Structures are given as structure tokens and as C-alpha cells.
Amino acid sequence: MTSPFFKRFWQLLPGIAAVATTVVLSQSEAIAPLESAVYRGLFQLRGPQTWEERIVLIKIDDATLAQMGQFPLPRDYYTQLLEQLSRSRPAVIGFNILFVDASPADTQLADAMTKVNNVVLASAVDAQGYPLVPQKPLHRAAVAIGHILEDPTNDGMVYQISPWEARQQAFGIAIADIYGQQHSAVDLPDLDQSFGINWPAAQADLAQYSFVEVLSGQVPPATFNDKIVLIGLTATGSDPVATPFDYDPPGNGTLLHAAVIDNVLQQRSLQAIALDSWWTLLLLATPVISYWLFSQSFRWQLAITLGGLGGWSGLSLLLFYNMYWLPVVPPLILWSLMGTGTILSQQFLANVTLQSLLDDLWQQYSQDTGLALRMQTPQHPVPEELGPEVRKLIVLANSWGWAQATQTAIAQTVPIGLLAADDHDQVWFCNSLAMEWLAIEIKQPLSSALVPQWLAAETWQRTLSELTQHKTISPIECQQGYQWFELRFERLENLEQPNPLLRDGRQGLLMVIENITHRKTVELQLRSLNRGLENEIRQRTVELQTVNLSLLEEVLERQQAQEQLAYQALHDELTGLPNRTQLKTQLQRLVQRSDENQENLFAVLFIDCDRFKLVNDSFGHLVGDKLLQAIALRLSQSVSHQDLVARFGGDEFVILLTDLKQPQAAINVAQRIRHQLQKPFLIEHQKLYTGCSIGIVLSGADYQQADEMLRDADTAMYRAKRTGIGKVLFKPEMHFAVRSSLELETDLRLSLQQQELVVYYQPIFDIDTQTIVGFEALLRWQHPRQGLVGPDKFIPLAEETGMIIPIGQWVMHEACQQLRHWQDRCLVHPDAFMSVNLSAQQFNEHRLLNRIDKVLRETRLDSCYLKLEITESAIMADSETAVNTFKALKDRDIRLSIDDFGTGYSSLSYLHCFPIDVLKVDRSFIQRMSKGQKHLSLVQAIKTLSHHFNMTMIAEGIETRTQIEHLRTMKCSLGQGYFFCPPMDNQSLEAHCLCPVPKTKTR
């Protein structure tokens, strides 16, 4: 430990460890959070600065999205904004928006950009590295394109950006460049070096206006004169970019580009100072500094360490005020680790050396353990917090001085009488208590004080004789009045060291007198208490025997209760049959046994009673319970005693056939059970009839759990109930069908959120002129795995699950919005209408009118252009409510249509009650017109009916010219079908069927 080589290595070790630790932390980015905290702290110490007054932000905020819809906004809004800004003549307009998707309105937006002639657009790169650039019309109309690529840290903050990326300037630098070309010259930064962001202040301090306020003309035009107008999305949670002044919640990418423009115009970007060579030199010099610092005193070590930390921190802060960024955390970590490690290692080396010296001294001078123990008296305690080493030093330093004082103190202050006499019976030492009790002085004979007041002469002589023979003397008890004393004697001779009590080396005896009056009193009291305790113990023993008998009775009662609870836990309370828990246990045991022995065949019969709810509703639950008991008894009598009959819940029972020779036996048992349950039950003098549906599952290697067999049996039972067969043997495809239905339901619930639903439109034509007079909105599902799914596969599922309400609302909104869009672009006849189908659930939903009003309000479509198609079954479900709903819709000037007329079960007596505008003849009637006169007459009858009721008839499914001729003969004016145009999406329809029409006066 003390060799010169080791000492020099030890002095270099703190510096080496500090360098290694700092390098590892820097490489692992573990200090990145500290760097971020220092970065934010420097800005907070500097305080906010005034934003460049030439920058104005137009933000697409939460208020804008709440009023105009979700992002991205239609191109028309941006066109209107440019027209609004053109009146103010701004210096430069920058769109922090990626116009990568084509839009029919791109041409208008490009024209508006060309007129302004100072628009800068943004570009980026997607996650796969493909460029995201504006559409070609917009790209040609922009005066410049700038990238908006960011490099945020783990905490979402951007320290710097690349001035040149993807062969384009940064978005903010491009805007500043355009401003310099059109106004005063601007010094652009070096495009080969990173551009450090010097954040001026919080976003709230920047001049900014809401998109919707500017668009509506609420902001004076003079606000944007000769300004750099930056337009971008700032809504909550969009493109979050943390800044030193906007950290929680963070700022956004638009604010970042505003800071870049500010830094360029003000020439105050943050310059990073490269310390590569200096940093390498500091790392190499750190072990040398540690070696030199090791030889300094503790005060100098602490002062140098703190001085280095404070000096570097001050230098960093001073440079930051002058817009230079100097790395702060790595040098501070390196210096603090070096200083702290040097101080601790020096202290450790000193402690090791002192410990070695202390161990040598302790081995040499601590042999007198009695002396060390006397050091621990309450009068002179050794503090525990000082540690074992300091305690040893205290003992060694004070041992000899304490020894004599300790012995004298013990002799004079102990609460006993202490007396020493020599072989001549002369007292040569006596403490105060012994003097008081024996009435004796030093140099007086001991015998005269003891005999006969304390001891008899014989006892005293015997004691002296035993002391001479070095025998152990038992303590002697003596009574003096009301007090008791104990006398102990010990021979004083043959000691290894001279005893301080034996003056001049004299030998003799040592006598110790102790007052034991209190002890004797306590002993007497204890004897009395023991006698009382013995009597109480005997009494308690009798009581415990009585209690034990009572406990035995309680234990027996509890065992009976537990047995009853165990029975109830495994049996149905009403029928006494095994319950679901016992069934699953037995079935699981059979499944496991079947894995070991494939020849062991068993089956599960899942039974559901038919018409049981009707019995409950008609005769009450008491009769229903008795019927369940009778069914349970009949089921138990229908199987062998080896089989298990269990009540699964409600009116459902499960039978476990445990030993089958062949699969047909399970089917025979199911047939026998159905036959037994079809017989009448006599309950409360009433003949009751019921039936059952049975699902059958046979054991097999595919089953590992009891729940799997019960699940498949339940599936087979529901198949039997739906088909009316009565009993069905489970097949794997049943499970696959149920699972496919569940998967389709799950996908359908996510389809709206994942934008998988699309609306197709089939035009409705005037049969004579073959011009488009309206459209029918048809829903399609673009499934990610199954492709385009027709409505016949998922609409019934949507109606069953209730998803038809939000889906129908979405379809109505999309269809109305699309018609309004076509009207604005003059692509349809002014009187063209949009037909939207309403399901029975939608039509009977109490919020239908509110939903329709909301759609019309949001899409700005006049209600007269909306036509709702309702099936006959939806109307007849609640005809009185249907009349009221129809009246409310007609009051809103919404046209109404009966869809698939003739296929439902409508009553003609109700038809005149409903304000129907259109009867839509089902395609099945149209397609059969050419098969004979009777089919043609049926369509003619519907046309006559619609004419008398003043309704318009629309023919569906027109596919041939012959059908067209028949319909013209009947004077049917409207029709739709593949003969004219199949259903298409909006873009295909615009490309193939729609063309601009001249504006005419609408109704």
C-alpha cells in the first residue's frame, strides 16, 4: 500500500477514472437530459428578447379547426386567405403546410399565388425517405421552396437546423432570402454549417392572428403591410416542438421557423464553439492535474475544484450572452469527478495508513481487557458515532490515567460494603458503607466487629479455615434488626499482577457486604404470589376444560357448515344438480384423461329450453322454478348414473356423457332427451309444454381446455335454435364462421376511425333525355385484407351491433358535402338531388331530426336537395311514429322515398297517410319485365299507384334497352342502373359522367 509505484498510480487514478466516466457518459448520451436542462436554464437566465417586429404569424389554431373542420383544410380557404392578404401587400408569405395531395382547387390556389408573387412553400421527407413536395401547379407558382426538416432531441427541443438539405434552403432562411431580394439586403448564414436556434421569447409574445379571424376580415389589412407573414398549424398537439419558453405545453414547428427568420434578420443566431482539440487536451491533462492536486491540502483541493466549476459555468454564461454556445455539462462532470475523486482517494489512503498504525498499537497495548472495559463506565462513555478506530485511540491514550481512578471510584462508590483484612485480622481497607454497617475503623481487628453481632464464633472459624484451604465460600445471610445482609469472602493471594487493594503486597481476605433487604422482601412477596397463582391455575384449568368442550362442539358445527358450503359451491340451489364449477372441473379432468388415452370417447350436450321465458312471463317465476326442477329431474332420468347432468345457468343445462362406444350414441341420447322434453309437464294443475335445442360436441385431441368444448357446444346449440333443427353436432367450420363474424365486427368498429369506408354514387337519370337528375349514395367498405366489401356482407352486422347509427350519419354527411361541392363547381344540374338510405334503426332513432339538421348545417346544403330512402319494414314497425317523423321531414322540405317498393309487407291502407314523394321499384321487378305480361303488369300497377298518389316512380336495376322501352311506354320518367352508369367513387364519376353545366335559376 505504501510503495512509491502504487502511490504514484493512486494519485493518477482519480483523473483516469474521471476521464473514463465522462467519455462513457458522453458516448451513451446519458448526459443529454442535463444538457437540455442547462440549455433551457441559460435562456431563462438571459430572459426573453423582443421578437422581430416584421414577423406576423397566422395560426391555424383550435378555434379555426372547430369552425372550418379537421386539418388539412380545403384549398379554397387558402385561396381566400391569399385574396384577403393581397389587399395588404405583405413582403413575403410563407406556408408551413405540405401541399402534397392533389386537389381540384390547386389551379385556383396557384393563380392566387401567382398574383401575390411572394409565396414561399414548404417541403419535407417522409419516414421512408421519399420527398414530400408541393403539387406541380403550386410548385411553379411559388417564388421559393424551403425544407422544414427538424432534428429534435429526446425532450422535443430543436437546438439547430440544417441550412441546406435536399438541395433546398431551410424554410425560414428561404423566406429571409426572398425578403432580402425584395427589400433591404439580408446577410444569409453559411449554408455548410449548422444553424443554431437563438429562441427570442415565448410564442405568446409573437404577433399572431387566428386564421379564421383573418379570413373573416376581423383583422385590419394594414396589419400585414410589408410584413413577413408565416402561416402554419398551431392547434393543440400538432407538430410539437419544445422551446426554452414554451416547454409544457410545447410550441410548434411554425414557431421554430419564425425563430429562424428572426435570427437571420437580427443576425443573432447561436454560434456553437467547437472544442474538439481543446477537449482532447483537457482529457489528457486531467490525470496530470489530479496527480498535482493530490499533494495539496484539503482546503486547496476544495477551492480549486469549486473554482474550476464556477469559472467554466461563468465563462459559458458570458459567452451565451454574446450568442455563443459552449458545451457546459461534460467539462463540469469531468472537473467535479476529478476533484471529488482526488479528495476522496487522498482521504482513503490516509485512513488506510492510520488504520495500520492503530492496529499495531492496539495489539501491543490493549492486552489489559479489564482496563478497556472500565473505560466504558457511564461516567466516561466513548461516543459510538466516532467509530471503532477513534474508540481504540481513546482507550489507548487514556488507559493508564483511568486505571487508578477507576479502581478507587469502584471501591468507594459501589452500593456495597467493601473491607480488606490481612492475615493478622487487622483491617487495612474499608469503604464508608462497611464502616457504617460494622462500626469499625481501619487498623481495628475484624473478628471483634463480626462476632457475635454478625456471625457465630463457630461460623467465623469455619470460614477462616475454608479460606486458608482455598475453598469456595458460599454467601452467608445475616439479619440485623429489620434488615438483611449477605456476606461474601474471597482469599487475596497468588495474583498475576499486584492488586491495588493489597498495599505493600500484603495478603489476607476480601469481605463484601451487600444489603439484601429488598431482595428478601421481594422473595417473600413472590412466595405469597406463587401460592395464589397455583390456586388460580387450578381454577383456570377447570374453566379451560369447560371451554375446550364448547370449542369441540363449535368445531363440529363449523365442519358441518363447511361441508354444506362445499356442497352449495358445487351444486345448483334450485335443482340440486351440479353447477357450472363442478361441471368444468369434471370436464377438465376428462379432457386431460383424453390426452393420455385417445380411445376414451365422451361428449358434451348443451341444452337450451324453448319458450321458457313465455312460461315465466305468463305464470310467474314460482311456476318457472318448478318447471326447471321438473326438467332437471327428467334430464337426470334420461341418462345413466355415470353421466353428469348440470345446470349451466337460467334455462340452460349441460349433460356430460362420460363413456361412449361410438359418436352416434351421443346423437341418440340427444334425440331421446328432445323426445322426453316434448312431453307435457303438470305444474300447479297446469299442463305446460316446452322443447329444447341441443348442441353436441364430441371429445378429440384438438381440445385442451374444458371451456373450449363448452364454447363449441354453445355454438352448435345456437345453430340448432336458429335453423329449427333441434339438435346439431358441432363442426369446426361453425367456430370459424362465428370467429370470422366477430373479426368482421371488430374491423367494422374501427373502419370509421381508420377511414376505410367510402361512398359510391350511382346517378339517377331522366329516361327520356338520359340526363343526370340525382344521385344515390351507396356505402362500400375498403377492407385492408379483404378488399372492397359489399354492403350485403356488413350492413346487417352494423344493424345488429348498432354501428349503423354513426355509419349512417357519416354517409349522410359525406353525400351532402359531395353534392354541395358539385353544386359549387357547377358539375350537376341545379335541381339535382342526393338520395341517402336510412335503415330501420336510423329512422326510429329519437335523434334522427337533430342529426339531419346538423348535417345540413355543416355541409351548407339546402334541404330540398336531400332525398331520404326508407324501406317499407322501417315504416310499418311503428306507423304512428313514422307519420310524425315524415311530417317533420316534410316541414324541412326534405323529399321522402320508399325503397325496394313491393318487396316488404306494407299495407296500402297506410300508404295515403305517409307524405311519400317517390316510390322506388325494386330491381327484381324491373329485371323480370321481359319474362311475361304478368311481370310487366305488376310494374305498370305500381306506376299507376304512384300516379294516383301523386308520387314519382324510380326504376332500379335497369340493364337493357328493352327495359328502357317498357318504362318509356309506362311513362316512367326516372331510372338508374348499369345501363346508364354503375356506382363509382366521386373522382371516377367526375372524370366519366360529370361536366360543367350552365347556371340557371333554381327553384
Give 175-194 pLDDT, tens digit per residue. 888 888 888 788 888 888 88
Considering only residues 803 and 396, tell me which one the structure prediction assigns the higher pLDDT. 803
Task: Characterize the bridge pairing of strands 228-233 and 240-241.
Answer: unpaired
Cis peptide bond prior to 249, omega within 30° of 0: yes
pLDDT at 262 over 50: yes
**How confident is the model at residue 2, as a pLDDT?**
56
Cell reading at 615: 312460461
The arithmetic mean of pLDDT across residues 17-31, rounded, is: 74
Average pLDDT, integer, range 586-615: 83
Angle between helices 387-413 and 329-365 (to 10 degrees): 40
Q: Percentage of the chain with pLDDT > 70?
A: 88
| Distance from C-alpha of 875 to C-alpha of 413, rounded to nearest angstrom | 114
Q: 605: part of which helix (H) or strand (E)? A: strand 601-610
State the cell numbers at 789: 366489401
184-188, 309-313, 401-405, 562-566: segment of lowest average pLDDT: 401-405
pLDDT the model gives residue 498: 41
Reference 881, options 865, 870, 867, 892; nearest CA is 870
Q: pLDDT tens digits, residue range 954-994?
A: 999 999 898 898 888 888 989 999 999 999 998 999 888 88
Highest mean pLDDT among 750-754, 756-760, 799-803: 756-760
Opening angle at CA 235, ends 231 and 238, nearest 5: 95
- 3-class secondary-structure state, position 414: coil
Peptide bond before 72: cis, by omega within 30 degrees of 0? yes
C-alpha span between 468 and 489 (Å, rounded): 11
- Backbone phi, then psi, for 213, in 5-degree steps? -70, -45
Give the residue, 988 or 794, on which the prediction is more confident: 988
Q: How many Å separate Cα 259 from the centre of its chain? A: 35
Under 8 Å between Cβ of 58 and 229: yes
Q: pLDDT tens-digit profile of 99-118?
A: 888 888 889 999 999 988 89
Above 60 in pLDDT, residue 907?
no
> What pLDDT shows up at residue 1002?
46
Provide the pLDDT for residue 645. 92
Residue 953 in contact with residue 942, Cβ under 8 Å?
yes
**Three-class SS state of 778:** strand
Residue 75's contacts (CB-CB under 8 Å, 6 or more residues apart) are: 99, 103, 105, 106, 108, 109
Nearest to 340 by CA among 372, 293, 374: 293
Which among 201, 193, 188 has a CA at the least distance from the CA of 161? Answer: 193
SS3 836: strand
Question: Is the pLDDT higher at 558 or at 284?
Answer: 558
**pLDDT-based confidence at 391, cuts 50/70/90?**
low
Q: Is 399 left (phi over 0), alpha (psi -120 to 50) or beta?
A: alpha
Helix or strand or coil: residue 875?
helix
Is the model's pLDDT at 910 over the cut of 60? no
pLDDT number for residue 208: 92
How many CB atoms sit inside 10 A of residue 9's CB? 12
3-state secondary structure of 119: strand
User: How high is the pLDDT of residue 740?
Assistant: 65
Write out pLDDT tens, residues 581-590.
988 998 888 8
Q: Please give the backbone phi and psi of residue 559, each rounded to the nearest 5 degrees, phi first.
A: -65, -40
Q: What is the dihedral of CA 327, 330, 332, 338, to 10 degrees?
A: -150
pLDDT mean across residues, the chain? 82
Q: What integer pLDDT is reported at residue 369 of this predicted model?
A: 45
Give pLDDT, residue 853. 93
Q: What does the block give as the cell for 4? A: 512509491
> Which whole number is the average pLDDT over 913-925?
84
